[in-house]
Structure 1
């Protein structure tokens, strides 16, 4: 299986892969609890994010886009954020409220030093457990080791905490989204995982 940089022609397949891979993800389904919102045709729930990832991060993917990884390269503190390209309908108020809760707590838990950030690792369910995720991880982990730069990610599944430990990550912090249940119920738990330089 070839690992390569994704391009605009992969857009539809990348969105579908991400949507299918995260269909039962605790955080994604907390953000989009309504099936009608989440299961829009062609993985449209990821359309805005994928537009920006293709414009700025250039995702890594398999040759058929059945698996992908979104890695953000290291940036120095104070670097201006990249401009967000909005290509879809605006979120509803209830969705905006959830994003407003998750964003700050994730930012609080990120390392302050420059690091590679794995925002998303996704494999289409039909292709899972074939080592594709591991190949997508190693592409950047090797580069990070050569640069002497740490890596960081978040996960919301206990089984993935164990998975990422096999790549040298360990739990740095954990938190619960909206522990005061301001939106009616306590949100899902997340783990921040850090991989130091070798």
Structure 2
């Protein structure tokens, strides 16, 4: 049996629906998603949320295509990109309403807590979301290696928040180190992690 072939490439606009479904499958049991996304039609709501996030990161979205199918995705906040503008966010706000409904204020409070803990400097690559529909195929590793190689080529660090305690050791193997905890009021705790660039750089 031939080993699976991984091809990491930037996501296309036509990939948004598939990326959203793959990430929704990957994050179905995530403690933060379970805390902020209502239980009713949970998977459907998650799909709307990840469609929103992918549409807001058109230049920072990468997919791992395994044997011709998108098996996972990574959404990166690129250095210098800044926050999406008001009109862009408004354009896709229907996805947020589909996701949270009347629970939107609770979700926004959680997002604000996470954002407040985000380091403002130095410039860095921000791994906002990384997920594979079916773990154990090397998809997450392929996406991480690709993104971190881009960050290293620019001589820039990387930052993420791990919402699953079991993933901390995995990220440590890629050079990340825990820098603190982010506690959501009445909810789970995330681990902030930072990685300095390796070799190369500008």
Q: If the TM-score is normalised by the length of the shorter chain, which range does it land in?
A: 0.7 to 0.9
The question of 1:194 aligning with 2:194 is answered yes
Q: State TM-score, norm by structure 2.
A: 0.82
Distance in 2 (alpha carbons) for counterparts of 1:72 and 1:103:
15
- Which residue in 2 is equivalent to 1:62? 64
- 1:78-134 Cα offsets, whole Å, 9 max, x none, are x752222315252423x2222232122212221221110000001002xx1111111
Closer/same/farther in 2, CA of residues 68 and 131 from structure 1, 3 Å limit:
same
Q: How many pairs are equivalent?
A: 182
Closer/same/farther in 2, CA of residues 159 and 187 from structure 1, 3 Å limit:
same
- Which residue in 1 is equivalent to 2:53? 49
The question of 1:123 aligning with 2:125 is answered no
Unaligned runs of 5+ in 1: 179-185
Distance in 1 (alpha carbons) for counterparts of 2:115 and 2:49:
22
- Which residue in 2 is equivalent to 1:181? none
Q: State TM-score, norm by structure 1.
A: 0.84
1:32-181 pair list within 5 angstroms: 32-36=37-41, 38-40=42-44, 43-54=47-58, 56-57=59-60, 59-63=61-65, 64-75=69-80, 81-83=83-85, 84=89, 85-86=91-92, 88=94, 90=97, 91-93=100-102, 95-113=103-121, 114-125=123-134, 128-178=135-185
RMSD of equivalent CA atoms: 2.0
> Displacement, 1:41?
8.4
After the TM superposition, list the runs of 4 or more consecutive aligned residues in structure 1 that deviate by more than 3 angstroms.
none
SS of the aligned residue for 1:145 comes to helix
The question of 1:27 aligning with 2:32 is answered yes
